[in-house]
A and B are shown apart, each in its own frame.
Chain A
């Protein structure tokens, strides 16, 4: 789709960024020491820290990715909501208070609290850096995806704006301003999401033939197979098409190309019960080797003789043959949808010698199917008979459960409050705010699915476009919040990385002991370095799916960090050698698994899924236990001699 830049959204966006920067400069005066820079002097009120947890956590993946996945596939996106929140239970009951008690600045501090081992500090520092960079990529990609419709800029401009703004925030004030930015953002995100949900319920559902641009998607037929031979003429009440003599690549699909006034469009063949075929209008984007892009057979653009994709997302049937429902209640929303039919728009690819065509076609789907797990390609295995297919789902849910409490930018937030009680209370506030938002995410995602405003090419835009379908001011607010969402999360991640570089890597490897001023200066330089890396990766990974990338970060974090953290608390026999080995084995095995998986082969390398070297894509179910096992075995092999004698 081509988006019209919105003046109001632009003004609101720059106002947000201006306020955020102003706040950073003002608060920056309070953070001159390293204790202030990394941990806000441990003086952040617990309630503010709790909402800031929500701000940190409800990143681009949660707000844009989950809502988008629900809008495209239904309930499956909500599985991420459930898994992400469940991870907070591990954080609250197992990690929160010990983290506060044992550490000072970084996750490595807590792991190393009783060993004082340079090896642990360095290994944990590397792990922090790797996880943070993996988590940074989707945030930056999300920033670029947002800026395109919001301001009409290119993807890379959005990435650079976010990167530069975040570097300014982090360099000026460190954890104090980062926390307040997160607090502001977390509060606004939950408030406006609740408002959007109320408006959504008030609007209810209606039956339609197309999206908000007023285009009615057409259907032709039914026809017998012979009537679809090349050169045959097809017509409805007032239009006429000729069946195109398509190439072999098209003949092998269930799509038909029809020509009208020199323009070739794509139609989907839908078999009927009596052996005939109906044709439903599809949408297509063709990219030729010469660099030309055709949309529905015409050059891409909004001018005369040009075309853009039509927005989608609508119901073809409501229960009791209603045309519209009027306002619905919170439960009525689901029970109505359960009995309705949703038109989803899956995609397929057709490769010809000199072009690649992406076809988006109508797929009427019963509401009952949309509201149950198993529609998203990654989760279809749960309905399979093969156990190996089900393992992918189990593995992801395990990684989400274990990953939250292992994310460095979440863990460092425990150092910004004054004591363990405050750490506990702030986690409870965080869980409440995040849980409430995740309930709303199901309404927002399903609302976007039926809003008539979906962009079939970009699931990340579902929530902002839903807002636009309701009111321009809401779109302005939601887009600005989504942008600051990215801003806030990136700030936290860069700060966690800077802490790892300063304390865990340089601090341990350098023979020169850094004084307080040097530590802060090095952290600021590291922030700029990590920020530049994030900008570059955000541009390079433009086409990658945001949720997919976040899955990497959770799996690596859970495999590398959680075994050491948990065993240190549970098992007296844990040794420093066990921790170092578990960190490195967990990190490298999960990374290796991801790089050899089907998802990476198909989405990153562009290779066939058959060539993948591991049996399923999500590593957690193998690499998290491997981390625990490694720690236990190595610790048993390296027990101190005094203990053996005893």
Chain B
């Protein structure tokens, strides 16, 4: 599945989000005090990071939609693989 161009794009974007999400979990677990900091506009990092994760999910979804090739073209370019 991930041998096709669309599959590769999906994989890259998935990893980008996974890094962001893991960062959020790890800060909460290993440096929870960081979440109390108010880096901007008097709003704490916990809220900024939470909003960032939601905004990033929406942005990456649209980016994927914009970068994807039509299904027929995508399968023509697939190099094989399980599916």
Contact = CB atoms under 8 A, between A and B. Distances in A.
A574 B82 CA distance: 10
B32 A569 contact: no
Contact of B47 (A75, A382, A574): A75
A372 B46 CA distance: 6
A424 interface: yes
Nearest to A113: B83
A75 B35 CA distance: 11
Interface in B4-46: 6, 10-11, 13-14, 17-18, 21, 24-25, 28-29, 32, 35-36, 38, 41-44, 46
A393 B53 contact: no
4 nearest interchain CB pairs? A335-B42, A93-B14, A93-B10, A431-B61
A241 interface: no
A89 B29 contact: no
A394 interface: yes
Contacts of B83: 98, 101-102, 568-569
Interface of A: 75, 78-79, 81-82, 85-86, 88-90, 92-94, 97-98, 101-102, 331, 334-335, 338-339, 368, 371-374, 382-383, 390, 393-394, 397, 401, 419-421, 424-425, 427-428, 431-432, 435-436, 438-439, 442, 568-572, 574
B37 to A, nearest CB: 10
A373 B30 CA distance: 13
Contacts of A78: 50
Given A93-B14, A401-B21, A424-B64, A88 B35 contact: no
Contacts of B42: 331, 334-335, 338-339
Nearest to A101: B83
A106 B12 CA distance: 28
A403 to B, nearest CB: 14
A335 B48 CA distance: 12
Given A371-B44, A428-B64, A571-B82, A85 B53 contact: yes
18 contacts: A82-B54, A85-B57, A89-B18, A90-B14, A92-B61, A93-B64, A334-B44, A372-B35, A401-B21, A420-B71, A424-B64, A428-B62, A431-B57, A431-B61, A432-B62, A439-B51, A442-B50, A569-B82
A444 to B, nearest CB: 15
Interface residues of B, number: 42
B43 A334 contact: yes
B5 to A, nearest CB: 13
Contact of B61 (A97, A368, A432): A432
Contacts of A397: 25
Contacts of B44: 334, 338, 368, 371-372
Given A89-B17, A371-B47, A393-B28, 6 more contacts: A82-B53, A85-B53, A88-B57, A331-B41, A334-B42, A338-B42
Contacts of A424: 64-65, 68
Nearest to B74: A420
Contacts of B64: 92-93, 424, 428
Given A89-B17, A89-B60, A424-B64, A383 B43 contact: no
A339 B62 CA distance: 36
A335 B25 contact: no
A554 to B, nearest CB: 15
Interface centre among B38, B51, B58, B81 (most CB of A within 10 A): B58
A394 B26 CA distance: 9
Given A93-B13, A101-B83, A570 B32 contact: no
B36 A372 contact: yes
Nearest to B34: A372
B41 A335 contact: yes
Contact of A431 (B6, B36, B58): B58
Given A82-B24, A569-B1, A571-B82, A97 B6 contact: yes
A420 B83 CA distance: 14
B14 A94 contact: yes
Interface in B62-83: 62, 64-65, 68, 70-71, 81-83
A511 B29 CA distance: 54
